[in-house]
Amino acid sequence: NAMAEIKVKAGGRIMVDGEFGRGINGSKGFEPSSSAQETDFDSQLDRARLNLSGTVSPDWGFKIEYDFASGSASAKDIYLAYKGFKPASVLIGNFKEPFGLEELTSSKYMTFMDRTIVNGQFAPSRNVGAALHTGGSNYSATVGMFGKGTSKGQDPKYSVAGRVTFAPIATKTTAVHLGAAVNYIDVHSSSLYTSSGAITTGDTNNKEPAGYHIGNPNFVDLDKSTIGGLEAAAVFGPASIQGEYMKAFNDYLDPTHNSDPSGWYVQASFFPTGESRNYVANKGAFGRIKTSGNAVELAARYGVLKLDQAGQDDVKQTTLGANWYATSHLRFMANYEMLDYGNNTGVPESDDNFFMARAQVDW
Amino acid sequence: NAMAEIKVKAGGRIMVDGEFGRGINGSKGFEPSSSAQETDFDSQLDRARLNLSGTVSPDWGFKIEYDFASGSASAKDIYLAYKGFKPASVLIGNFKEPFGLEELTSSKYMTFMDRTIVNGQFAPSRNVGAALHTGGSNYSATVGMFGKGTSKGQDPKYSVAGRVTFAPIATKTTAVHLGAAVNYIDVHSSSLYTSSGAITTGDTNNKEPAGYHIGNPNFVDLDKSTIGGLEAAAVFGPASIQGEYMKAFNDYLDPTHNSDPSGWYVQASFFPTGESRNYVANKGAFGRIKTSGNAVELAARYGVLKLDQAGQDDVKQTTLGANWYATSHLRFMANYEMLDYGNNTGVPESDDNFFMARAQVDW
Amino acid sequence: NAMAEIKVKAGGRIMVDGEFGRGINGSKGFEPSSSAQETDFDSQLDRARLNLSGTVSPDWGFKIEYDFASGSASAKDIYLAYKGFKPASVLIGNFKEPFGLEELTSSKYMTFMDRTIVNGQFAPSRNVGAALHTGGSNYSATVGMFGKGTSKGQDPKYSVAGRVTFAPIATKTTAVHLGAAVNYIDVHSSSLYTSSGAITTGDTNNKEPAGYHIGNPNFVDLDKSTIGGLEAAAVFGPASIQGEYMKAFNDYLDPTHNSDPSGWYVQASFFPTGESRNYVANKGAFGRIKTSGNAVELAARYGVLKLDQAGQDDVKQTTLGANWYATSHLRFMANYEMLDYGNNTGVPESDDNFFMARAQVDW
C-alpha cells in the first residue's frame, strides 16, 4: 500500500572550524566588523545541518535540509523530485540553480574549506523554482526557472538558468570534464541589493571581500544580469586539475553605468595515498572520495576577480590546502589563504592572510 | 525493558508555492508591504517541516514538529500524550485549541491552499496548554486550557476552549458532521495585540486583510472575548459540502467600544475520479484522502467576514480550486482567489485577485 | 563497506512548563520586563529539542542537537567524537566545558526544574572547542580548550577548562563523589559582556537575578577570570546529598576594580518509592533514574551567591521539589522557589516567589 512505499532517511553534516589570522573584514564571521585589524584566534560551527530524505512512491522522492549554524534556519535542499521518466528528473522546491562546477559540488566534497571568491560573486546557489535534469554516463543537462529568495517578504523577480556538461572520459579514476552554463537574472528591484548595492550571492560561507559583488557598490541600479560560466576539469588517478571562468554582462537602470565583472580560478590536487577525486558524470560534479581510510590530499588554487570599474584593482585569492580523510565520511582540513584586495575604495588594508582548520563529519 | 518500548518516527511536509496576481497587501508574504500595487510572480516555501513522533511506553507518546519555512523555528505540534484510559487521551504541550473544523483539519488535507479569512480571524490554532480528548465512531469531545503564546517573553493570559462533534452518519464514503465549539479568551494585555490592535491569530499562512482581526484597529483595548463556532459538513461519495459560522462577543476596556465581528463560509468539492473526502469521526475533522493515485478534486468556496463597525464594509472571499493527488502523500493544487475588501479604512484598493499553485509532499 | 557502518538515531526532549508566582524580573521569560511586579499564570515550552546521533565508523561518532523552544536555533551538543583509544575519547565541536556537577548533569536528569543561580553565574556550559576525556569505574578526567560563543560575528577570546572527579564508592545504589574543576577565561572584549556588563553565562533557563553575573554591573571592564569549583555528592540507596562551591578570581582592566564573586549550594533528595539517583562514575555526573514506573522523589536545596561588592547583599535561593517518574523517560516535576535578592542596586523588590510545574519526555 501507499504507506509501505514511504522510506525516510535522516542525514546531516557538521563542520567545526578554527581560524587564526589577520583579516581586514568579517571573513567567515570570525571577526566582528568593528575589530577590522585584529589578529585573533577563534572557533565556530561553520555548517551544522539536519536533513530527511526519502521516497513516498516509486516515482516521487523528497529532501528537506536546514543549516542552523547561524542560529536561524537556513533553507538548503528542500524539494520534491519526480523520477518517473528516467534518466530525466524534475525538481520542484529550493535547490541550487544549475551554474558552476564548484558550486554544484557539495561542501562535503569540496577540495578547500570554502569556495572561491569567484564562485561567491557569480554562482546563484539555491532559490525556489523548478528544474528539469537529465544525465548519462558522459553528460548532464539541466534547465530551470527560479524566483529569487526563499524568505517570505522579499520581492524578487526571477532567473532562468541552464547548464550542460560533457565528459569525453569518465572512469572511476580518470575523467575529463567540460561544462558551460548561463544564468539570466531579472533584478529590477532594490530589495535584492544588499546595503552595499550588491546582489545577495549564494555562498555566505565564502570569504568574499565585502562590497565587491556583482552589483558594484558605486552602481546600485542593476536591472538585468546575464552571467556565463565555462568549466573544465580532469582527473588522472591521484592527480586532478579544475578551473572555471565566469563573467556577468550587466544592464544598469542608469545607461551611463557600465561594469561587467568577471573572474577565474584554477586549482590542482594530489593524493599521495593514491585515491582519486570522484567525478560523477551524470551530475557534472564531484562526489564523495572513496577511501578505506587515511587518505591524504594536497591542493593549491589561485583565483582572480576583475571588478571592471575605474579605480578598482583586481582581487586575488591564493589558497593552499591539505586534507586527511579518516574515513569516507570524516575528514580534517587545513587551509592557508591569502587574499590581496589591491588598492580599492573603502578597503582599509590590502591583505588578508589566515590559517584555518576544520573537522567535518557527514552521515 | 524501558528502552525497548521507545519507538520514534521521522516525518515532515514540504509545500512549494508559486503565485501570480495583483494584491493590495502582503498576502502570504509574496509581496513586500511597500510594493502594494504590484502585479507580480513569485515562488516560495510555504511550509517546510520536520517532526519526530513516537512512544516512550505503552501509554505515553510524544510529538515534536517545527516549521522552518520563515527562517525561524515556528513551533507546531509539540506535546506529551497519555493514552492510558481509552478512548480518552490527555495532551500537554503546544497544540491546536479545540475550535474550528477547518482549523483542526491538517494543512496536509485542506481542500484549498489556505484556510478562509473567517478561520484566520477567529480560530486560535496552537497554544501551550493541556486538553482532555475523547471520541468514538460517531462523536468527539475536547476541552482544554491554554496560555497564550509559545514564545518566551510574552505576557499572556489564558483561554479555555471546548468542542463537541457528532456524526449521525460516518462510513468510509458517507458522512454527516455537526459540531459546536466555544473559546473564552482573557486578553487584558496590550502585548497580545499586534501593532494594528489585532489579536495574533493562528493561521499566519492565511491571506488575511491586514488590520481586520478580532481586535478592531480602531479599538485597541480588547479585554475579554468569547468566540463561538458552529460547523456542518457532509460527504456523499465523491461530493462533499462544508460550512462554518463563527462570532466573537467582545468586551472592551472602554465601555463605549462595541464590536462583535462574525463570519461564515461554505465550500463544496467533487472528485470526478470517484474518491471521497476522508471524515475521521473520533477527531471530528478530515484526514488523508485514500487514493491509489491520480485522484482529481474540484472545489469552490465563498466566505464573508463581518467587521461589525461603523464605516467598515464586509470582506468577501471567493476561491476556486483544483487538486491532483499523484499519490496519497503527494499532490498539486491550483487556486484562484478573489478578495473583496469593500470600502474600508486604510485599504488602498478594493480587490485582490491572484492565481496560486502548490506542490506538496508529506511523509 | 563504509556506508554499512553508519548508524543514526533520532532523539529529543520536550519540557512543558506552567508557572504561577510573583516575580521581580523576567524569570524564565514568563514575564516581560515591563510588567515587573505582576502576579500571573503562564505556560511555555522550556526546552523542545531534536537531535541525531550515531557513528560513521567503529571509532568515530557524532551528535547534533538543537533547542528551538525560543523560536531560534540554540546549538546544544554538536560534535565529532573519537573513541579509538579507550577509555579516552576526544570531542571536537560545541559541547559543555568540563566544569560543574550540576551543569554536567543533563537537564533530563536534574533533580530540580532549573539549575541553581550559582551554577548560572559561574559554569560556562557549551562553547566550540576540543576536549580530551577519560574515565573509569571510579574516576573521570577532562581537559579542553574553547573559543567563546558559537554564533558567527562574535569576537571571543578563549578559555581553558579542566575537571577531575573521584568516586571512592560507586555501586548501583551507593556512591560518593568528589570533584574539582578550574576554568580560565581570557575575556578582554566588551562584546562578551551583556548590556549590564555581565558575562553571558551558560544556563539561560536559569532564573538568574538580572545584572548580577560574574562581571559586576558596576565593573564592565573584566579582563581575565579564573573560576574554581569544588563538588561533593553522596548516594545512599534512596537518599542523596549534593553540594558545590564556586569562586571567580577576576582581573579588571581598571586596577582599582576588585570583585571576586563566589557561591555555593547544597541539596538533598529522597525517593520514598525506593529508587536511587544514578551516579555515572566515568563521567562524574548523574544519569537517568532507573525505574519500572511510578517513582516519587522529594528534594530541597539552598544556595547563596556572594556578589563581593560594596553595597550589594548576597542573593539567596531556596527550592522545594517533588518529582513523579511515570517511566524512566517521562516525568512530572513541581517546584516552589524563593529568591531573596537582598537590598541590591537596581532591584525594585527583594523577593521572588513562584510555583512551577513541568511535564517532561525524552527519547
B350 has a pLDDT exceeding 70: no
Residues A95-117 have a mean pLDDT of: 95
3-state DSSP call for residue C63? strand
Helix or strand run (H / E) with residue B119: helix B117-122
CB burial of residue C100 (10 Å; 0-12, 13-18, 19+) = buried
C210 has a pLDDT exceeding 70: no
CB burial of residue A181 (10 Å; 0-12, 13-18, 19+) = buried
Per-residue confidence (pLDDT) for residue C218, from 0 to 100: 45
Are the C-beta atoms of B132 and B160 separated by less than 8 Å? no
Segment among A73-87, B149-163, C179-193 with least mean pLDDT: B149-163
pLDDT band at B148 (very low <50, low <70, confident <90, very high): low
pLDDT band at B252 (very low <50, low <70, confident <90, very high): confident
Strand A295-306, strand A351-362: pairing: unpaired
How many Cα neighbours within 13 Å face the side chain of A83? 14
Chosen from A63, A76, A80, A91 to mutate, greatest number of chain B CBs within 10 A: A80
**Neighbouring residues of C279: CB distance < 8 A, sequence distance ≥ 6:** C167, C170, C175, C177, C233, C235, C286, C287
Residue C363 to residue B154, Cβ atoms within 8 A: no
C22 vs A286, higher pLDDT: A286
Query: Smallest CA–CA separation between B12 and chain A, in Å?
Result: 8
A227 vs C230, higher pLDDT: C230
Residues B82-108 have a mean pLDDT of: 96
Tell which residue, B360, B285, B263, B305, has the closest CA to residue B105.
Answer: B285
A327 has a pLDDT exceeding 90: yes
Segment among A105-114, A177-186, B15-24 with least mean pLDDT: B15-24
**Neighbouring residues of A4: CB distance < 8 A, sequence distance ≥ 6:** none
Tell which residue, B361, C307, B279, B197, has the closest CA to residue A63.
Answer: B361
What is the rounded distance in angstroms from the CA atom of residue C310 to the CA atom of residue C345?
Answer: 11
Per-residue confidence (pLDDT) for residue A193, from 0 to 100: 37
Per-residue confidence (pLDDT) for residue A40, from 0 to 100: 60
Per-residue confidence (pLDDT) for residue A208, from 0 to 100: 36
Q: How close are the terminal C-alpha atoms of chain B, in Å?
A: 29
Tell which residue, A350, A354, A270, A319, has the closest CA to residue A17.
Answer: A354
Contact residues, chain C, for A41 at CB < 8 Å: 147, 158
Phi-psi region of B40 (alpha: psi -120 to 50; beta: other; left: phi over 0): beta
How many Cα neighbours within 13 Å face the side chain of C98? 26
Nearest CB among B50, B127, B158 relative to C41 is that of: B158
Residues A39-61 have a mean pLDDT of: 88
pLDDT band at C186 (very low <50, low <70, confident <90, very high): confident
Q: How close are the terminal C-alpha atoms of chain A, in Å?
A: 29
- DSSP E strands in A109-219: the ranges are 126-136, 139-147, 158-170, 174-186
Identify the architecture of domain A3-290 in CATH.
Beta Barrel (2.40)
3-state DSSP call for residue B3? helix
Residue B64 to residue C48, Cβ atoms within 8 A: yes
Residue B216 CA: distances (Å) to CA of B155, B305, B328, C13, C274: 20, 13, 41, 39, 58
Q: Where are the domains of chain C?
A: 3-362
Query: Smallest CA–CA separation between A307 and chain C, in Å?
Result: 27
Residues B304-327 have a mean pLDDT of: 87
Segment among A189-203, A303-317, B259-273, C309-323 with least mean pLDDT: A189-203
C235 has a pLDDT exceeding 60: yes
Binding-site residues on chain B for chain C (CB distance < 8 A): 2, 6, 8, 10, 50, 52, 54, 56-57, 60, 62, 64, 66, 72-75, 78-80, 92-94, 127-129, 146-147, 150-156, 158, 191
Are the C-beta atoms of A58 and A2 separated by less than 8 Å? no
Residues A265-290 have a mean pLDDT of: 97
Residues belonging to chain A: 363
Q: All 3 cell numbers of residue A89?
A: 528528473
Identify the architecture of domain C3-362 in CATH.
Beta Barrel (2.40)
Per-residue confidence (pLDDT) for residue B31, from 0 to 100: 36
ipTM: 0.89
Per-residue confidence (pLDDT) for residue C350, from 0 to 100: 54
Contact residues, chain B, for C51 at CB < 8 Å: none
A148 has a pLDDT exceeding 70: no
Given CA atoms C270, C274, C275, C281 in this order, what sign does their dihedral have? positive
- DSSP E strands in B31-157: the ranges are 39-55, 60-67, 74-82, 89-96, 126-136, 139-147
Nearest CB among C80, C153, C154 relative to A359 is that of: C80
Residues C98-117 have a mean pLDDT of: 95
Segment among A155-159, A189-193, B283-287 with least mean pLDDT: A189-193
pLDDT band at C208 (very low <50, low <70, confident <90, very high): very low
A309-344 core/surface letters (b: 16 or more CB in 10 A; e: else): beebebbebebebebebbbbbbbbbebebebbbeeb
B36 has a pLDDT exceeding 50: no
- DSSP E strands in chain C: the ranges are 7-22, 39-55, 60-67, 74-82, 89-96, 126-136, 139-147, 158-170, 174-186, 222-236, 239-252, 262-270, 278-280, 285-287, 295-306, 315-327, 330-340, 351-362
Q: All 3 cell numbers of residue C132?
A: 580530551
Give the DSSP letter of residue B362. E
pLDDT band at A36 (very low <50, low <70, confident <90, very high): very low
3-state DSSP call for residue C29? helix
Residue A327 to residue C94, Cβ atoms within 8 A: no
Cα-based angle B112, B115, B117 (whole degrees, multiple of 5): 130
CB burial of residue B180 (10 Å; 0-12, 13-18, 19+) = middle
pLDDT band at C343 (very low <50, low <70, confident <90, very high): low
C159 vs C27, higher pLDDT: C159
A345 has a pLDDT exceeding 80: no
B90 has a pLDDT exceeding 90: yes
Residue B306 identity (one-letter amino acid): K
Asked if the peptide bond before residue B98 counts as cis, ω within 30 degrees of 0, the response is no
Residues A70-96 have a mean pLDDT of: 95
φ and ψ at residue C149, rounded to 5 degrees:
100, 135
B81, closest residue in chain C (CA to CA): C361
How many C-beta atoms surround the C-beta of residue A58 within 10 A? 10
Nearest CB among B14, B18, B49 relative to A80 is that of: B14
Residue B338 identity (one-letter amino acid): M
C159 vs A30, higher pLDDT: C159
Residues A331-355 have a mean pLDDT of: 74
Per-residue confidence (pLDDT) for residue A196, from 0 to 100: 34
Given CA atoms A187, A191, A197, A199 in this order, what sign does their dihedral have? negative
Query: Smallest CA–CA separation between A79 and chain C, in Å?
Result: 21
Query: Smallest CA–CA separation between C310 and chain B, in Å?
Result: 32
| Neighbour subunits, B (≥3 Cβ pairs < 8 A) | A, C
Per-residue confidence (pLDDT) for residue B198, from 0 to 100: 37
Binding-site residues on chain C for chain B (CB distance < 8 A): 10-12, 14, 16, 18, 26, 28-32, 35, 38, 40-45, 48-50, 68-73, 292-293, 326-330, 359-363
A23 has a pLDDT exceeding 80: no
pLDDT band at B259 (very low <50, low <70, confident <90, very high): confident
3-state DSSP call for residue B4? helix
Mean pLDDT computed over every residue of chain B = 82
Per-residue confidence (pLDDT) for residue A313, from 0 to 100: 77
Residue C359 to residue B64, Cβ atoms within 8 A: no
Mean pLDDT computed over every residue of chain A = 82
Residues belonging to chain B: 363
3-state DSSP call for residue A38? coil
C268 vs C218, higher pLDDT: C268
Residues A338-350 have a mean pLDDT of: 62
Calculate Rg over the CA atoms of chain B: 20
Per-residue confidence (pLDDT) for residue C205, from 0 to 100: 35
A214 has a pLDDT exceeding 60: no
Task: Establish, for the pair of chains A and C, how many residue pairs have beta carbons separated by less than 8 Å.
Answer: 113
pLDDT digits (tens, 9 = 90+) for B62-75: 999 999 998 899 99
Are the C-beta atoms of B342 and B327 separated by less than 8 Å? no
pLDDT digits (tens, 9 = 90+) for B177-191: 999 999 998 765 443
Give the DSSP letter of residue A120. H
Residues C250-273 have a mean pLDDT of: 88
pLDDT band at C272 (very low <50, low <70, confident <90, very high): very high
What is the rounded distance in angstroms from the CA atom of residue A60 to the CA atom of residue A7?
Answer: 11
Asked if the peptide bond before residue A87 counts as cis, ω within 30 degrees of 0, the response is yes
Per-residue confidence (pLDDT) for residue C6, from 0 to 100: 94
Residue B361 to residue A153, Cβ atoms within 8 A: no
Mean pLDDT computed over every residue of chain C = 82
Residue B40 to residue A154, Cβ atoms within 8 A: no
B361 has a pLDDT exceeding 80: yes
How many Cα neighbours within 13 Å face the side chain of A229? 32
Residue A10 to residue B10, Cβ atoms within 8 A: yes
Tell which residue, B43, B64, B95, has the closest CA to residue A78.
Answer: B43
Per-residue confidence (pLDDT) for residue B55, from 0 to 100: 96
Per-residue confidence (pLDDT) for residue A154, from 0 to 100: 40
Nearest CB among A12, A29, A35 relative to C64 is that of: A12
Highest mean pLDDT among A182-191, B248-257, C266-275: C266-275
Helix or strand run (H / E) with residue B264: strand B262-270
Tell which residue, A72, A158, A61, A67, has the closest CA to residue A106.
Answer: A67
Residues C16-42 have a mean pLDDT of: 52
Residues C96-111 have a mean pLDDT of: 97
Tell which residue, A227, A267, A241, has the closest CA to residue A125.
Answer: A227
